[in-house]
Structure 1
Amino acid sequence: MPGATEAFHALWNNCSLAIVIGLTGYMALVQLLRYRRMAKIEAPFANRGRPLSSMTVEEAHAIIAQLQETEFPYAFAKARRMALLKAGGIPTMSKLFAVTGQNNRRNAGKRAVDTEILLRESQSQPRDSDRYASAVARMNYLHARYRRANKITDDDLLHTLGDGLGEILNVIEREEWRKLTDVEKCALGIFHKNLGEDMGIPFDALPSKAEGWKDGLHFALELSKWTIQYEEEVARPTATNDQYVRVYVDSALPSFIKPVVRQMLGADLNDIMRTSLGLESPGLFLSIVLGLVRNLRKLVLRYLALPRPSFLAVRLVHDKPNPETNLYNFERKGLQPWSRQQRRRSSAWAVLFRFIAKLTTRTLQCSLCTKSVASSSALSPLWSLEILLDCHAPVVHSGQYAIRI
Structure 2
Amino acid sequence: MLSTTSSLALAIAIYLPIQHVLRHRRERQTARKYGHKSRKDLARMTMDEAGEIMRELIELEMTDAFNISLGYGFLQTLAFPESSALLVHTKQIHNPLQSSKRLFDTSVLMTEIVSFTPSSPRFRQAVSRINYLHSRYGDRITNSQLIYVLGVFACNPQIWAERWEWRSMNELEVAALGTFWMGVGRMMRIDMREIKGCGKDDPRYLGRVWSSSSTTSEPENEINNHDQDQDQDEPKDDNNNNPPSWADGLDWMIDMRAYMDLHESEYLGRSEDTDALVEETFRMMLDPLPRWIRGWVRKVAAVGFEERFRRASGVPTPPRSIERFVTYSRLFTKYFRLYLGLPRPAFLTHRAIPSHPDPITKRYSPGAYEAYPYYVKPTFWKRYNPVALLRWVSGGDRPGDKPEKYQPEGYKIEELGPPRWMGKGLEWMEADVMRGMQVVPDGGTCPFGFGD
Give the TM-score band, short-chain normalised: 0.7 to 0.9
Percent identity (aligned): 26
The alpha-carbon deviation at position 252 of structure 1 amounts to 3.8
Match of 1:130 among 92, 97, 121: 121
* SS of 1:338 mapped into structure 2: coil
Would you say the 8 A contact 2:361–2:409 is kept in 1? no
The alpha-carbon deviation at position 344 of structure 1 amounts to 5.8
1:94 alignment partner in structure 2 = 84
Q: What is the Cα-based RMSD across aligned positions, in Å? A: 2.7
Asked which structure has the greater CA Rg, the reply is 1
1:71 aligns with 2:81: no
Give the Cα–Cα distance (whole angstroms) in 2 for the partners of residues 99 and 255 of structure 1.
Answer: 30
* SS of 1:341 mapped into structure 2: coil
Question: What does 1:5-404 correspond to in 2, within 5 Å?
Answer: 14-43=3-32, 44-47=34-37, 51-104=41-94, 105-146=96-137, 148=138, 150-208=139-197, 212-253=245-286, 255-343=291-379, 348=384, 352=389, 356=393, 379=395, 382=396, 385=398, 389=401, 392=403, 397-398=407-408, 400-403=410-413
Give the Cα–Cα distance (whole angstroms) in 1 for the partners of residues 60 and 150 of structure 2.
Answer: 23
Give the stretch that moved more between structures: 94-103 or 66-75.
94-103
**Structure richer in helix, relative to its length:** 1
Give the Cα–Cα distance (whole angstroms) in 2 for the partners of residues 347 and 119 of structure 1.
Answer: 26
Would you say the 8 A contact 1:70–1:314 is kept in 2? yes
Would you say the 8 A contact 2:193–2:244 is kept in 1? no
The alpha-carbon deviation at position 82 of structure 1 amounts to 1.2
The alpha-carbon deviation at position 79 of structure 1 amounts to 1.2
Inter-CA distance 56–95: structure 2 relative to 1 (3 Å threshold): same
* SS of 1:233 mapped into structure 2: helix
Give the stretch that moved more between structures: 112-121 or 347-356.
347-356
Give the Cα–Cα distance (whole angstroms) in 1 for the partners of residues 391 and 316 of structure 2.
Answer: 34
The alpha-carbon deviation at position 352 of structure 1 amounts to 4.2
* SS of 2:350 mapped into structure 1: coil
Give the Cα–Cα distance (whole angstroms) in 1 for the partners of residues 37 and 391 of structure 2.
Answer: 60
* SS of 1:191 mapped into structure 2: helix
Instruction: Give CA-to-partner distance per residue, 1:26-84, whole Å, 9 cap, x none.
Output: 22211011111111222344447852112222221221121111101121111111111
Q: Which runs of 5+ in 1 are unaligned?
A: 1-10, 357-377
Taking structure 2 as the reference length, what is the TM-score of the superposition?
A: 0.74
Inter-CA distance 346–318: structure 2 relative to 1 (3 Å threshold): closer
Give the Cα–Cα distance (whole angstroms) in 2 for the partners of residues 63 and 385 of structure 1.
Answer: 34
2:203 alignment partner in structure 1 = none
Would you say the 8 A contact 1:193–1:219 is kept in 2? yes
Letter in 2 for 1:112: L
Give the stretch that moved more between structures: 344-353 or 273-282.
344-353
Letter in 2 for 1:119: M
The alpha-carbon deviation at position 197 of structure 1 amounts to 0.4
Letter in 1 for 2:342: L
Would you say the 8 A contact 1:92–1:151 is kept in 2? no
Give the Cα–Cα distance (whole angstroms) in 2 for the partners of residues 354 and 158 of structure 1.
Answer: 37
The alpha-carbon deviation at position 241 of structure 1 amounts to 0.9
Give the stretch that moved more between structures: 19-28 or 126-135.
19-28
The alpha-carbon deviation at position 306 of structure 1 amounts to 1.1
Would you say the 8 A contact 1:231–1:272 is kept in 2? no
Q: Following superposition, which runs of at least 4 residues in structure 1 exceed 6 angstroms of deviation?
A: none
Would you say the 8 A contact 1:121–1:316 is kept in 2? no
The alpha-carbon deviation at position 345 of structure 1 amounts to 12
The alpha-carbon deviation at position 14 of structure 1 amounts to 0.7
Instruction: Give CA-to-partner distance per residue, 1:206-229, whole Å, 9 cap, x none.
Output: 134776211100101210111121
Letter in 2 for 1:109: S
The alpha-carbon deviation at position 243 of structure 1 amounts to 0.9
Give the Cα–Cα distance (whole angstroms) in 1 for the partners of residues 161 and 272 of structure 2.
Answer: 32
Would you say the 8 A contact 1:113–1:339 is kept in 2? no
The alpha-carbon deviation at position 337 of structure 1 amounts to 2.0
The alpha-carbon deviation at position 166 of structure 1 amounts to 2.1
Inter-CA distance 228–349: structure 2 relative to 1 (3 Å threshold): same
Inter-CA distance 399–288: structure 2 relative to 1 (3 Å threshold): farther
Would you say the 8 A contact 2:375–2:411 is kept in 1? yes
Give the Cα–Cα distance (whole angstroms) in 2 for the partners of residues 355 and 65 of structure 1.
Answer: 33
Give the Cα–Cα distance (whole angstroms) in 2 for the partners of residues 213 and 251 of structure 1.
Answer: 40
Letter in 2 for 1:398: P
Inter-CA distance 260–52: structure 2 relative to 1 (3 Å threshold): same
Give the Cα–Cα distance (whole angstroms) in 1 for the partners of residues 360 and 347 of structure 2.
Answer: 25
The alpha-carbon deviation at position 299 of structure 1 amounts to 1.3
Inter-CA distance 90–59: structure 2 relative to 1 (3 Å threshold): same
Inter-CA distance 211–122: structure 2 relative to 1 (3 Å threshold): closer
Give the Cα–Cα distance (whole angstroms) in 2 for the partners of residues 76 and 354 of structure 1.
Answer: 25
Would you say the 8 A contact 1:109–1:338 is kept in 2? no
Would you say the 8 A contact 2:284–2:371 is kept in 1? no
Letter in 1 for 2:166: W
Inter-CA distance 395–273: structure 2 relative to 1 (3 Å threshold): closer
* SS of 1:337 mapped into structure 2: coil
Inter-CA distance 80–345: structure 2 relative to 1 (3 Å threshold): closer
Instruction: Give CA-to-partner distance per residue, 1:353-388, whole Å, 9 cap, x none.
Output: 7973xxxxxxxxxxxxxxxxxxxxx64xx1x559x6
